Amino acid sequence: MTTETDILIVGTGFAGLGMAIQLKRSGRENFIAIERAGDVGGTWRDNHYPGIACDVPSHLYSYSYLPNPDWSRVFSPGGEIQAYIRKCAEDEGILPHIHFHTNMLKSTWDEDAKRWIVETSKGTYAAKILITGTGHLADGHMPNIEGLDSFTGDVFHSADWDHSVPLEGKRIGVVGSGASAIQIVPEMQRLASELVVFQRSAPYMIPRWDRAFTEGERRMCRRDPSVVEDMRSEIFWSGEFNFAQRRNIPRFLNEAKALAVGHREANIKDPELLAKLTPDYEIGCKRLLISNTYYPAVAAENATLEASALQRVEGNTAYGASGTGYDLDVLVFATGFEAVRPPFATRIFGTEGISLDERWDQGMQAYDSIAVNGYPNLFIINGPNTGLGHNSVVYIIEAQVDYIMEALAQIDAQNIEVIEVKRAAEDAYMEKLDAMAQGTVWLAGGCKSWYVDERSGRLTLVWPDFAHSFRDENGTFHPEGYDMQPAPVAAE
Amino acid sequence: MLDNQPFREGHVTVNGVDVRYRVAGPENDRTPLVLVHGTAGSIDGHYGYIFPMMAYRQRVIALDWSEPAGDTLELADLVAQVKAVITAEVPEGPVTLMGYSLGACVAAMTAAEMGGKIANLILAAGWLRTDTHQKMRNDVWRQLRDQDSASVTQYMTFCAFSPAFMNMRTVEDMKAAAGMLKITPFVEKQMDLNTRIDIAAACETIAAKTLVIGCTYDMMVPKHHSKQLFGAIEDARYAEIPSGHAVVHERAAELFHYVDRFTRQPDEFPAGAIIPAQKP
């Protein structure tokens, strides 16, 4: 049996849920969101490792139309963000539209029916419009490590934390030194008898200006919502200022670097460790991290920083590329996500019968960062060139939802059956982005990062400009980029 | 590798003094943008953010004021310098002219005098006529200066930034920022000129499409001045930034946002419009 719906949304994280809320608020009822897990929240549901928090202040990292006066801290813990997302889904009446434990397996475009046929773990759906909100941080990346199968201890990925594994007094290895790792490491250092951090490359880090909000402050936010609005504005525009660093302008890049160097030197006194923790590329080329607890943790007596990648495992011994081996009880892989080649793209097949992943064999690209030629009636939220190195992705998601809402209104008004972006428009958009990306720290900063597609050297993950200009450029629907076919008028 | 933007330096002689300026960014369908700094400012001091960021979008020209001969500085001295730079670089016009603080008064006067060559005008934290509130502040400044008091730069800093901006920092941070300010004889002449501004009549004649930007928490040039400019200039629209007077530092990215949108499409909002703030 096939479930018919006007609009099918894939995923219920910030993107999918934000889309669903606006559909519902506009008076639409004929939509379904499929969710592979048993709860909403996306990356905030999956990532529940010790120490998880967001790097964007909570008052901004939330929907603009659903402010939360009750955030406990400037940077609230992950569980609070997850609870916020769930509450949004409940309050907005979205839960009845969500089909949980429903994993998209294969979506194909049915040219005759002008429908997306979406096969899932719970049956088949047919939808006029398909919207993906699968995110950049959905599927954990596990490096292929020689001999890992032989490891005698416990192994898990940071995005699939096994809370049943006892950690107290254990010898723990953390693989990675990115955004997840630097939150996990201080927690592990407190528990472990010995801690080893396998660091392929040193990250830049700046202080985290975090603090708890008082009850009085929370009451102030409840009593006067304009206070929250002012805070959002202030956080957003301070974040925007920092785009000048990513733009790689010497003055601003050097200011950021001075902050990072000062933070490092204030925390790390051992010259050998300091050298290991000093990056060999420009600040911002890889994600800039914020932490007050990471440096003290790696400098602690029970911690060892192995300044090379984990290379192989033999029994209970894990070897860095340097050749040094460590006997360990637990290995935690904080090795990030499949961001550059998102797995959802292998499951969507367009008019030519090829997958998006194949179509993107030189890297992801989409017109207005949302639509791909050959994949009609498909909108991708938080897909190619939507990531930010300096501000809140929820802002980008809201701009994309606005775009889709305008497109849907036009589709309805003109009784459009098929909407497909023109290839020339898509290519022109990418050429524009390629030109904008030249000279930015992501391309010129001398590092290897998940922002850049190795196959083409193109910046495919990040929007290479201010966040506000994403909204200016991509927050409204551009019909001129699309071919739109009206539905045939039914014969009398 | 840092992205060192190529730029060209130029200079013109105005009434016997050398005026230096900088040109960067591609020529395209946007009108060249000319930037005029304010009191105690410079290209780097007031446009350290806007100049390089706008130069990724379009042609940008900015000048540093030079001290003219004589004991007293007049608005006409600074207007002459701006006119000379425009004439040297974009002799046929049109340009978009932006001024900040006293530079906004200079830019408005320049627009009144140059007519059609100034197609678009951006006035950030400028004013029409010096009022009692400003004279009072200026008078305290003058007394501190005459006492050669170190607190004169702290007073300037106190007046320049909004409470919200200051409260993200420590008193020591703010004092260190004050310590960077240098009061030269030329700055003293600018401060004196600040007490004598009256461009009300000239503003009535400005034909340029104008964006007036007021700053909500401005204690030096409170936003009612920007409202007066918004009223006086026929083809004006108004935007407000929740910042102190030092908007070029405090909310540089938000200022960029308004400048970028206006230079891309000056008629996006009609004359008389109050542009709604973007709510992130």
Q: Are strands B33-36 and B95-100 parallel, antiparallel or unpaired?
A: parallel
Q: CA dist B156 to B64, B131, B143, B161, B251, Å?
A: 21, 18, 13, 9, 18
Average pLDDT over residues B64-71: 97
Q: Report yes or no: B200 and B236 within 8 Å, Cβ to Cβ.
A: no
A309 and A372 co-located in one domain? no
Nearest CA in chain B to A396: B280
A410 and A367 co-located in one domain? yes
Quickly tell me which residue has 């969507």 as its tokens: A348
- Give the residue from A63, A229, A231, A241 with the most B CB atoms within 10 Å of its CB, the best one to mutate: A241
In Å, how far is A408's CA from the nearest CA of chain B? 23
Residue A396 domain flag:
yes
Amino acid at site B161: F
In Å, how far is A52's CA from the nearest CA of chain B? 25
- Give the residue from B2, B4, B50, B60 with the most A CB atoms within 10 Å of its CB, the best one to mutate: B2
* Whether pLDDT at A255 is above 60: yes
Chain A residues inside the 8 Å CB shell of B56: 247, 436
Nearest alpha-carbon partner for A232 in B274, B277, B217: B277
Give the number of A-B residue pairs with CB atoms closer than 8 Å: 73
Quickly tell me which residue has 């000129």 as its tokens: B193
Nearest alpha-carbon partner for A478 in A407, A377, A397: A407
In Å, how far is B4's CA from the nearest CA of chain A? 7
A358 and A463 co-located in one domain? yes
A176 and A273 co-located in one domain? yes
In Å, how far is B107's CA from the nearest CA of chain A? 26
Nearest-angstrom CA–CA distance, A478 and A421: 10
Average pLDDT over residues B208-225: 98
* Whether pLDDT at B145 is above 90: yes
* Whether pLDDT at B1 is above 80: no
Q: Note whether B3 contacts A445, CB cutoff 8 Å.
A: no
Q: Note whether B254 contacts A445, CB cutoff 8 Å.
A: no
Evaluate the omega torsion of the peptide bond into residue B94 and state whether it is cis, within 30 degrees of 0.
Answer: yes
Confidence of residue A492 (pLDDT cuts 50, 70, 90): low
Residue A57 domain flag:
no
pLDDT tens, A81-99? 999 999 999 999 999 999 9
Q: Which of A248, A441, A468 minimises the CB distance to B257?
A: A468
Residue A457 belongs to what domain range?
Answer: 2-40+94-139+338-486
Chain B residues inside the 8 Å CB shell of A283: none
In Å, how far is B48's CA from the nearest CA of chain A? 9
Q: Which of B3, B260, B280 minimises the CB distance to A233?
A: B280
- Which residues, including other chains, have CB under 8 Å from residue B124's CB and lie 6 or more apart? B98, B99, B100, B101, B104, B213, B215, B247, B248, B255
Q: Report yes or no: A402 and A379 within 8 Å, Cβ to Cβ.
A: no
Letter string b/e over residues A258-274, b meaning 16 or more CB atoms within 10 A of that residue's CB: ebbeebbeebbeeeebe
Last residue of a domain, one of A286, A314, A333: A333
Q: Are strands B7-14 and B17-24 parallel, antiparallel or unpaired?
A: antiparallel
Nearest alpha-carbon partner for B10 in B77, B86, B121: B86
Query: ∠ at Cα B264 (B263, B267), nearest 5°?
Result: 80
- What's residue A439's pLDDT? 92
Average pLDDT over residues A416-426: 98
* Extents of the domains making up chain B: 7-131+197-264, 133-186
Residue A10 domain flag:
yes
Quickly tell me which residue has 């559909």 as its tokens: A23
A269 and A342 co-located in one domain? no
CATH number of the domain at A160, please.
Answer: 3.50.50.60
- Give the residue from A62, A229, A233 with the most B CB atoms within 10 Å of its CB, the best one to mutate: A233
Chain A residues inside the 8 Å CB shell of B251: 237
Nearest alpha-carbon partner for A397 in A65, A55, A115: A65
A279 and A302 co-located in one domain? yes
Task: Give the B-side interface with A, CB within 8 Å.
Answer: 1-5, 48-49, 52-53, 56, 164, 242, 251-254, 256-257, 260-261, 277-280
Q: Which of A234, A436, A444 minimises the CB distance to B1?
A: A444
Average pLDDT over residues B110-131: 98
- What's residue B143's pLDDT? 96
Nearest alpha-carbon partner for B124 in B29, B246, B253, B264: B246
Query: ∠ at Cα A67 (A42, A398), nearest 5°?
Result: 55
Nearest alpha-carbon partner for A119 in A215, A31, A3, A200: A3
A394 and A461 co-located in one domain? yes
Q: Note whether B280 contacts A232, CB cutoff 8 Å.
A: yes
Task: Give the A-side interface with B, CB within 8 Å.
Answer: 60, 64, 229-230, 232-234, 236-237, 240-241, 243-244, 247-253, 282, 392, 395, 436, 439-441, 444-446, 466-469, 471-472
Q: How many residues does chain B have?
A: 280
Q: Note whether A248 contacts B3, CB cutoff 8 Å.
A: yes
Nearest CA in chain B to A394: B280
Chain A residues inside the 8 Å CB shell of B4: 250
Helix, strand or coil for residue A463? coil
Chain A residues inside the 8 Å CB shell of B278: 468, 471
Chain B residues inside the 8 Å CB shell of A466: 253, 256-257
ipTM greater than cut 0.85: yes
Least confident span in A134-143, A299-308, B19-28: A134-143
Q: Which of B164, B252, B278 minimises the CB distance to A241?
A: B252
In Å, how far is A68's CA from the nearest CA of chain B? 14
Confidence of residue B3 (pLDDT cuts 50, 70, 90): confident
> What DSSP element (H or E) covers B64?
strand B60-64
Confidence of residue A491 (pLDDT cuts 50, 70, 90): low
> What strand order describes the sheet that includes A325-327?
A310-314, A317-320, A325-327
Q: Report yes or no: A74 and A210 within 8 Å, Cβ to Cβ.
A: yes
Q: Note whether B254 contacts A446, CB cutoff 8 Å.
A: no
Alpha-helical regions (H) of chain B: 43-47, 50-55, 75-89, 102-114, 132-146, 151-160, 163-167, 171-179, 185-194, 200-203, 223-232, 247-250, 252-264
Average pLDDT over residues A237-265: 95
Q: Note whether A392 contacts B1, CB cutoff 8 Å.
A: no
Q: What tokens does A405 get?
A: 């809402």
Residue A164 domain flag:
yes
Helix A225-241 / helix A215-223 crossing angle, nearest 10 deg: 100
A116 and A162 co-located in one domain? no
Q: Which of B253, B261, B277 minimises the CB distance to A240?
A: B253
Nearest alpha-carbon partner for B127 in B196, B238, B204, B225: B225
Residues facing A3 on adjacent strands:
A125
Residue A117 domain flag:
yes
Q: Report yes or no: A212 and A235 within 8 Å, Cβ to Cβ.
A: no
Q: What tokens does B96 get?
A: 């978009």
A391 and A288 co-located in one domain? no
Q: What tokens does B172 get?
A: 């020591």
Q: Note whether A248 contacts B257, CB cutoff 8 Å.
A: no
Nearest-angstrom CA–CA distance, B119 and A427: 34
A409 and A469 co-located in one domain? yes
Q: Report yes or no: A382 and A16 within 8 Å, Cβ to Cβ.
A: no
Last residue of a domain, one of A333, A363, A390: A333
Q: Of the CATH numbers 3.40.50.620, 3.40.50.1820, 1.25.10.10, 3.30.460.10, which one belongs to the domain with range B7-131+197-264? A: 3.40.50.1820
A292 and A356 co-located in one domain? no
Nearest-angstrom CA–CA distance, A432 and A425: 11
Nearest-angstrom CA–CA distance, B149 and A2: 82
* Whether pLDDT at B128 is above 80: yes
Number of domains making up chain A: 2
- What's residue B2's pLDDT? 78
- Give the residue from A62, A249, A433 with the most B CB atoms within 10 Å of its CB, the best one to mutate: A249
Q: Report yes or no: B50 and A252 within 8 Å, Cβ to Cβ.
A: no
> What DSSP element (H or E) covers A435?
helix A423-437
pLDDT tens, A149-203? 999 999 999 999 999 999 999 999 999 999 999 999 999 999 999 999 999 999 9
Q: Are strands B60-64 and B17-24 parallel, antiparallel or unpaired?
A: antiparallel
Average pLDDT over residues A305-309: 97
Confidence of residue A449 (pLDDT cuts 50, 70, 90): confident
A129 and A160 co-located in one domain? no
Chain A residues inside the 8 Å CB shell of B164: 230, 234
Q: What tokens does A454 get?
A: 């190795």
Nearest CA in chain B to A251: B48
Query: Read out DSSP for B99-163?
Result: EETHHHHHHHHHHHHHGGGEEEEEEES--SB--HHHHHHHHHHHHHHHTT-THHHHHHHHHHS-H
- What's residue A102's pLDDT? 98
Q: What is the 3-state secondary structure (H, E, C) of A134-168?
A: CCCCCCECCCCCECHHHCCCEEEEHHHCCCCCCCC
Last residue of a domain, one of A308, A333, A358: A333
Q: Report yes or no: A356 and A372 within 8 Å, Cβ to Cβ.
A: yes
Q: Note whether A249 contacts B52, CB cutoff 8 Å.
A: yes
